[in-house]
A = this chain, B = another copy of it.
């Protein structure tokens, strides 16, 4: 049974696309803040590479805080916990990178993520978005989950071109090469309801 897109009411919750042996699915990246000293907690039955994605996203944001409109003083005052639900399923690989990045930017800005949006792509410390695998399966899952817009790496455009047009109906694609484009597309100007004051 597949997941459905939910909504964008909560800061730090972003919809990603996953690809497993049994096909594609959407997944949620969730992150929260609690008072602390800058610890990063990562859960969800994740393998080493997926945990590294969370670290990369966090360090990239710390190193580029200003550009994202984040006061770098906050990083030492909170612990961050990133979770990927459905703990019974082991998960790994770099493809949730853009989703984790978006989750953390939403969390630290307390801004809403764009509605009906999903994404998949590896991130790097130099700010690039890299292509990932399983695009066809991920796109089919996105449609089933009522996603309307998808962010992909520019290098994954060729994978979309191989998919029958009819399967793509109702989906809008954003092809990106840089992590800032992801944030420009995904993070809205609007604060979430009951936004935390950091």
Contact = CB atoms under 8 A, between A and B. Distances in A.
Interface of A: 10, 12-13, 28, 30-35, 41, 43-45, 48-49, 52-53, 55-56, 59-60, 62-63, 72, 75, 79, 81-83, 85-88, 93-94, 97, 122, 124-128, 130, 133
Given A52-B44, A59-B41, A87-B49, A124 B28 contact: yes
Contacts of A49: 45, 87-88
Nearest to A59: B81
Contacts of A35: 62, 72, 75
B63 A124 contact: no
Contacts of A126: 10, 12-13, 28, 30
B81 A30 contact: no
Nearest to A3: B130
A105 to B, nearest CB: 15
A165 to B, nearest CB: 25
A55 B111 CA distance: 25
A87 B133 CA distance: 12
Contact of A63 (B32, B86, B130): B32
